[in-house]
Structure 1
Amino acid sequence: MHCDAVLLNGNCIVNESMLTGESVPVTKTALPSNDKLYNVKEHGNHTLFCGTKIIQTRYYGDEHVLAVVIRTGYLTSKGQLVRSIIYPPPADFKFDQDSYKFIMILTGISLCGFIYTIFSKYSRQIAPFDILIKALDLVTIAIPPALPAAMTVGKLYALNRLKKKNIYCINSRVINVSGSVDCVCFDKTGTLTEDGLDMWGVVPIEDHRIEKPIKDINTMAKDSLLFQGMLTCHSLTLIDNELCGDPLDIKEEAVLFPREWCVYEQGRSKGGARWARPTPESFWLTPE
């Protein structure tokens, strides 16, 4: 996709790993017909975002896949991402704030010394030029002019030390901040741990009471609402006759489908369609 578009007819399976980092295909549906104003966040399931890849499209009856372009260029989701990388917002680190406060304190002290020096020298009838030289000399002592250069040399030395450890830093301002880090938090599992989840069992609820867990799903009754819900309430789709979707749903249906159930999909696919909607009637689960 080279633009952001809203789905009007048809459906599609989209790979949004470029934007979200998730490799699981996402099902996009058509925008419902109502009086509500379109909102990107609220109607994200009906929007094809720039930078995503359409894996498969489907349409039903004579209504071909159709979408309307809403944003292009830097106004798209991908464009905003690229713009945030090229022009990152300025980060105001606490270390820099403390440095400015330190300079302000030194400035206040030097100003007091400057005024005191002028009055004390003037009372002893010293030449005005000599008074000015002594007062400015006090300012240069209170605020070292070589302080910025010394800090720059320290950052360059830190960059060279990091480079020897094969650590490359493009922003020297963050070195002082990273030196005080004592805890690192990761936002999700799968980065350092096992990827995905396993199907452990099902905990049914009867008459507002939690029943005993069922670890063997094949022992559940076929006519139970819980069993039927597990068969139908998922985000799986068929791509080249293979189930694709959430990994947990795939593991769950892998336990159920081999029993005597299979997935049938309605609708026609048109590989050349550029615009893409799934409907509730897209997938049927029937006993063989």
Structure 2
Amino acid sequence: MNASEHTEEPTSQAPSALASRDRWRDHHSSSAPLIGLTTYLEQAQTGVWDVPAAFLPKVYFEAVTRAGGIAVLLPPQPVDESIANRVLDGLDGLIITGGKDVDPARYGQEPHATTDVPRRDRDAWEDALLTAAIDRELPFLGICRGLQVLNVSLGGTLHQHLPDVIGSTRYNAGYGKFTENAVEVHAGTKAGELLDDAEALAVHSYHHQAIDEVAPGLTVSARSDDGTIQAVEVDSVPFGVAVQWHPEENADDLRLFAGLVEAAREYRR
């Protein structure tokens, strides 16, 4: 390619159309809220490397971007109140993602034989971020482990192995395979508002733990037919929703992510 070919302007669009397109892109990029997503910190293999690494499945942050947000990943790291607040200073919304079981010592129990080896670094990181988010009313969404972290952070407890309680493994088939379950979303709640008060919402499940004692300040906003709590929300904030299922696994239903992004956009304003 010679110099004249390299610098030739495209003829398919007039300069005014290009300028209009660029202004549209700049406007929407500048108004898109920043959503922080917590990540795993585990041993990971890629190519010749086998090292501790922070990572998050693509479906999480892809759901955020498709809903109109900008995704920012938040790996576990040393944390205190001031660090948590400094992180949230740069965000408009927060997602506490799925992952390993919460350390049962945090809610005064000994570990069940099936409970994961605790990741205390991640527990402390997410607890600090959630506490600071609630204090400043930053919109947040908890997913699976995120619901459990929220409940424990506010003083609730967990069933460490749900099959012992309900007598089945309907919520966890293992081997990375999600199961489909129906949940009833309660009317008059934020989850009900976002999910049209669905009486039989089909969701993707992958959990062997669930809420036992509900923490003070939380309202249950969805259950499944066996009584398992499937969603809660924080009474004291405009948008603090957590679900036990994995909404990121349903690419056709972005309502929870869209609700968070819109709340984050309002928070930013």
TM-score band by shorter chain is: under 0.3
TM-score, length-normalised on structure 2?
A: 0.19
Where is the strand percentage greater, Structure 1 or Structure 2? 2
TM-score, length-normalised on structure 1?
A: 0.18
The structure that has the greater radius of gyration is 1
Query: Larger RCO: Structure 1 or Structure 2 (Cα < 8 Å, ≥ 6 residues apart)?
Result: 1
